[in-house]
Amino acid sequence: MSARAATSSRMPFSIGSTTVPVRIFPHNFISFSQVKYGCRVAFEDSAKLRQRGSGGFCFTPLSPSCRIRGRSSSSNPKRSQSRRVRDRPLSEVSNRTGEDGRDNPATVQDPQTLSSGAELSPPGDGGRLYAQGGGASTAASNAEGQESDGNRTSSEGPFERMPASTANRESTGVSVNDLMLLVKEAETNIRTLSQLRERAVNELQTARNEKEELQSQVQILKARLAESEAKLKYTVQARERTQLLEEEVEALRQGLAQTEVDSQAFATLKEENRVMKESLTALKQAGGNGLLEAKYQSSLDEVNSLRVQLADAQAEITKFSRGTGRERAGLQEYIVGLEKKIADMEKQLAEANANSAELKSLEDESMALQEEAAALRAQLAGRSDSSSSSEDQTLQRQVDSLKSLLARAVAEKNALLDLRSENLRLREQVKLLEERIRESDAEIQAQLQIYTAEVEAFQASLNDLKSENETSVVQVPVDEMTWDFWSELLLRIDALMLGDLLTQEDAKELHLMAWRREKRLCDVYVNLADEPDEDLVGAFQELLQPKKRPGIYVIHIAAEMAPVAKVGGLGDVLTGLSRSLQRKGHLVEAILPKYDCMDYSRISNLKELDLELHSSFDGQTHKNKVWSGIVEGLPVYFIEPLHPAKFFWRGQFYSEPDDFRRFTYFCRAAMEFLLQSGKRPDIIHSHDWQTAVVAPLYWDVFVPLGLDSARLAFTCHNFEYQGAENSGAIAACGLSPQTLMRPDRMQDNSHHNKINLLKGGVVFSNVVTTVSPTYAQEVLRPEGGKGLHGTLGVHSKKFFGVLNGIDQEVWDPATDTLIDCQYSAHDIDGKFVNKQRLRERLGLASEGEDERRPLVGCVTRLVPQKGVHLIRHAIYRTLEKGGQFILLGSSPVPHIQHEFEGIARQFENHPQIRLVLKYDEALSHAIYAASDIFVIPSIFEPCGLTQMISMRYGTIPVVRRTGGLADSVFDVDDERNPEEKKNGFVFDDANEGSLNWGLDRALDYYSQRPEWWQDLVKKAMLIDFSWDTSADQYVDLYKQVLSKANA
């Protein structure tokens, strides 16, 4: 117990009929032991109180902090309300005019007696009492004394009655009855406010429920709109199918025209038969041959039969054409009606969109109403009874507004229901149209099949008739050839075969023809018997050509293919070369891994094949899925391993720690696919280290299993990357490390404990190529071959450099839709338009003197191979020379990316320099079309495509003399170059001074010789960088290895 509590004394204190003990402290404070009333009583010191003979006191408000504690100690809102009423000074309570919640230090000097039987003594100048009453009511008129302490007599009240003279000295007072009445009135007001608040809460909950219902209706409307859009899309597809139907009808008409052509051919054949009849008559007169006459009569009967069949076919086609026209007219009329309904539906959809906007507005109003209701509840908590009625009216108006909005929403809902019913009717009509189109398709297809079958039968009959005529008439003189002639021919064929001029298969077929005494072979030999062997072999091969494949069957196995899986130039090369070979009549297919990050939107007709492909890896058998699709018009197979490691579900193509295992697994699965599917290609062409293991797999594993029809081509696009790994890793795909770890096979030339996949591709392939002739010479030296120069030297007879090309259909400024203005070499005005548009797009200066500034472009990967230090220097050098510079590209090397980001920030708002540190396909096209000069300062460049693309768009390149750049760009000031080849500016060394020499000349020529520059632009645009020439070189290499294999 504290010292203050130890020196205190107790005395009774009575209010009305309630008596509580009060403890008197030396510091003149009294605390109640009954906290129900929560009062503090301030007395004068004890001596003065005893002199007065009574405890004088007066009422005074508590300080603000005390009142806060009082409010927080009770959770009952009624107590809080009554407490706020009693917090006011009694004078303000009596007059009911004071401010709520404000402390008033003025004291009530003259309180009335607390009961009828006892009066309060005058407080003097210091006694004060502040009472915080609870909600309990007491009898205000009860004046009986209550005994509370043994130290006082029972005849005394809790406090002595105040003398009348003292009471008369006070002018005013407040009785306990008044206080109780105020309390009861406050309680009534509190109950009223509580009812109002409860009503507001209920209405607020109703509004919230209505809002949620409206939101659900909005979602339903959105779903219906989506459904309507899908129906519109399906209707458009139906229209397209109708167009296809019309195209098929047109094709049938063309077939009818072809039939008329066949009729003319039939008339010609009839004339030939007439001539044959005259010949037969002549033969009869000369003694004739009964067998020949019978054959002729049979042929004549068959011709007459074909004539009847042709007439019937023409009648059927005419009938079908008329029927198709009527059906098409009906369909067209129905489609017109359907289009009108679609227009009406689109109008209704527009109204539905407007309704959705109104529902959104209603939703916003509901939210605003909710906020207002929350504010109203906060206001109700602290508002007096005098303002409750006006707030009720406001709330009622808001509730009425919400009800009106709800009624509008119901009306909109009904409108949407009507729209839905209309959509259902439209769906039924679309279904009816689809059914009619299906019926029409079926009828057309049936008629087309009948017509096709009849035409084929007619053609076959014509061929049979011609062959019989040749057999019966033309070949008769062959029997007159002596056996010496045929024996000489057979010996000549054998001599050509032994001299490696004819293959065994060709020789065997020629033997059969000689044994059958075919006149074709006889005629060829009679005409060319005395000619050189080469001419005779050529004629024999032409004779056999119809029985051979029309072209070469090539299968590419690679890790990239543009545009579905493209990282570098490999993807562009594979697609460009394959398309060019395909246009030349060769059969080309490709096999790729099925990456999860491919651009699947560029693959058409992608589907899973019904093929259960098993492949061996790590000594276990794994299942694979095989998908087929069409990429840029080429058939492509995608292999999806079902391996637990998920080799190609990594979100990126390369740069995985297990790339060696990923791609050796893919190569083994690709070869298993060729074996199990029964494909027998002429050439299997693999690319870079990722698929280099195809070559050793072919010879060591799959040739013994029967896959032996092909010869192998291998192309290395960059000798920087070789796929070296510990020797044991190769065993996973089924190859023997002990057999392959030899210097003449796959042992790495620098690290003898590793196996080198790129070296295996070089050693085991029949022909090896790289992407330019100059690069092929560079890699034969130590600095270029990256350790493989010795291996390439050993195999140099099968190693060739073939310059890559570009797809001129993709890179064509006359048709490019990614540039602002198309142009060509015959009209280059559009190039300046593209230049101005790109300046505006990137915020470069384009007015006044800036309009004539040369624009230098650079599109590249920012890696050391590309000469990043020279690119950085070119930016500042161009600025010094008065030009503008645009760089597009990014770097996988963090410090290089960070460095160029700093340069980009330096020139962020500069009027002449702009850096875009990302790859943007559309922006790259715009830069090629807009730039005047293109900078390519590569340290080494196996081929390079950007210099070819830039010239295709009339942008003159400034390049370093290396690799494919040296094979495609020829300096305008080098007298050793023919005039027709001069197309750019070349420098030799990888330093800033050498770059300045090339770049400064280009900038000076542009500024000082504008007409000469225009002629250079046109000449560069006309250079043929297509794949045609390169594809011809690959075909020649294919034929060489195939002829050696056949020999």
Q: What is the pLDDT of residue 162?
A: 42
Tokens of 256: 């009818």
Q: How far is CA 1023 from CA 460, 805, 943, 968, in A?
A: 48, 11, 17, 10
Burial bucket for residue 167 (CB in 10 Å: 0-12, 13-18, 19+): middle
The rounded distance, in Å, linking the Cα atoms of 745 and 748 is 9
Q: Is pLDDT of 437 > 50?
A: yes
Nearest one of 529, 543, 633 to 583, comparing CA atoms: 633
Residue 825: phi and psi, rounded to 5, are -65, -20
The whole-number average pLDDT for the span 278-301 is 51
Percent of the chain beyond pLDDT 90? 42
Q: What is the pLDDT of residue 495?
A: 80
- Count other C-beta atoms under 10 Å from residue 29's C-beta: 14
pTM for the full predicted model: 0.52
Local structure of residue 942 (DSSP, 8 states): S
Tell me the β-bridge partners of 29: 42
Q: Tell me the per-residue pLDDT of 1-30, one tens digit each, with 9 for 90 and over.
A: 444 444 455 555 554 455 555 555 444 444
Local structure of residue 733 (DSSP, 8 states): G
The whole-number average pLDDT for the span 925-935 is 97
The whole-number average pLDDT for the span 633-645 is 94
The rounded distance, in Å, linking the Cα atoms of 802 and 784 is 17
The rounded distance, in Å, linking the Cα atoms of 362 and 365 is 5
Local structure of residue 698 (DSSP, 8 states): I
Q: Tell me the per-residue pLDDT of 90-135, one tens digit each, with 9 for 90 and over.
A: 444 333 333 343 334 333 333 333 333 333 333 433 333 333 334 3
Q: Is pLDDT of 792 > 70?
A: yes
Q: Is pLDDT of 37 > 60?
A: no
How does 687-708 read in b/e, with b if 16+ C-beta sit within 10 Å? bbbbbbbbbbbbeebbeeeebe
The rounded distance, in Å, linking the Cα atoms of 871 and 860 is 10
pLDDT band at 262 (very low <50, low <70, confident <90, very high): low
The whole-number average pLDDT for the span 893-905 is 95
Q: How far is CA 678 from CA 550, 591, 623, 675, 708, in A?
A: 20, 15, 18, 6, 11
The rounded distance, in Å, linking the Cα atoms of 304 and 269 is 12
Q: Is pLDDT of 1038 > 90?
A: yes
The answer to whether 887 and 821 have CB atoms below 8 angstroms apart is no
Nearest one of 468, 488, 606 to 536, comparing CA atoms: 488
Q: What is the pLDDT of residue 89?
A: 44
How does 388-417 read in b/e, with b if 16+ C-beta sit within 10 Å? beeeeeebeebbeebeebbeebeebbeebe
Query: Which is more confidently placed, 513 or 814?
Result: 814
Q: Residue 862: how many CA atoms within 13 Å on its side-chain side?
A: 25
- Count other C-beta atoms under 10 Å from residue 180's C-beta: 16
Nearest one of 493, 38, 12, 452 to 256, comparing CA atoms: 452
Q: Tell me the per-residue pLDDT of 311-362, one tens digit each, with 9 for 90 and over.
A: 555 555 554 444 444 445 555 555 555 556 556 655 655 655 555 555 556 5
Residue 128, H or E segment = strand 128-130
The rounded distance, in Å, linking the Cα atoms of 201 and 195 is 10
Q: Is pLDDT of 169 > 70?
A: no
pLDDT band at 1028 (very low <50, low <70, confident <90, very high): very high
- Poorest-confidence range of 52-56, 214-218, 573-577, 630-634? 52-56
- Poorest-confidence range of 99-108, 660-669, 812-821? 99-108
Q: How many helices (H) and strands (E) does the chain have?
A: 30, 23
The rounded distance, in Å, linking the Cα atoms of 732 and 668 is 10
Tokens 């094949």 belong to which residue? 609
Q: Tell me the per-residue pLDDT of 880-895, one tens digit each, with 9 for 90 and over.
A: 999 999 999 999 899 9
* Beta carbons within 8 Å of 176's beta carbon, 6+ residues apart: 15, 16, 114, 115, 138, 140
Residue 13: phi and psi, rounded to 5, are -140, 130
Residue 884: phi and psi, rounded to 5, are -115, 150
Task: Say if residue 123 is preceded by a cis peptide, omega within 30 of 0.
Answer: no
Q: What is the pLDDT of residue 649?
A: 94
The alpha-carbon radius of gyration of the chain (Å, integer) is 51
Identify which of 114-123, 235-244, 505-514 has the greatest average pLDDT.
Answer: 505-514
Q: What is the pLDDT of residue 112?
A: 37
Nearest one of 1027, 1029, 870, 1024 to 940, comparing CA atoms: 870
Local structure of residue 312 (DSSP, 8 states): H
The whole-number average pLDDT for the span 535-547 is 79
The rounded distance, in Å, linking the Cα atoms of 553 and 713 is 13
* Beta carbons within 8 Å of 159's beta carbon, 6+ residues apart: 12, 13, 14, 54, 55, 118, 120, 121
Considering the chain, what is the average pLDDT of its residues? 76
- Count other C-beta atoms under 10 Å from residue 182's C-beta: 19
Residue 90, H or E segment = helix 90-95
Query: Which is more confidently placed, 658 or 256?
Result: 658
Q: What is the pLDDT of residue 14?
A: 52
Q: Is pLDDT of 800 > 70?
A: yes
The rounded distance, in Å, linking the Cα atoms of 781 and 784 is 5
The answer to whether 107 and 129 have CB atoms below 8 angstroms apart is no
With both helix axes pointing from N to C terminus, report the angle between 921-930 and 829-842 in degrees, rounded to the nearest 10.
130
Q: Is pLDDT of 483 > 80?
A: no
- Poorest-confidence range of 417-431, 620-634, 866-880? 417-431
Query: Which is more confidently placed, 408 or 807?
Result: 807
Q: What is the pLDDT of residue 175?
A: 79
* Length reported for the chain: 1047
Query: Which is more confidently placed, 720 or 300?
Result: 720
Q: Is pLDDT of 805 > 90?
A: yes
Identify which of 240-254, 389-403, 704-718 has the greatest average pLDDT.
Answer: 704-718
The whole-number average pLDDT for the span 635-639 is 95
The answer to whether 998 and 965 have CB atoms below 8 angstroms apart is no
Q: What is the pLDDT of residue 536?
A: 87
pLDDT band at 757 (very low <50, low <70, confident <90, very high): very high
Burial bucket for residue 559 (CB in 10 Å: 0-12, 13-18, 19+): buried
Q: Is pLDDT of 405 > 80?
A: no
- Poorest-confidence range of 99-103, 519-523, 592-596? 99-103
Tokens of 79: 């107590």
pLDDT band at 393 (very low <50, low <70, confident <90, very high): low
Q: What is the pLDDT of residue 268?
A: 64
Q: How far is CA 510 from CA 131, 486, 499, 938, in A?
A: 132, 11, 16, 56
Query: Which is more confidently placed, 616 or 569?
Result: 616
Percent of the chain beyond pLDDT 70? 65
The rounded distance, in Å, linking the Cα atoms of 534 and 540 is 10
* Beta carbons within 8 Å of 864's beta carbon, 6+ residues apart: 893, 896, 939
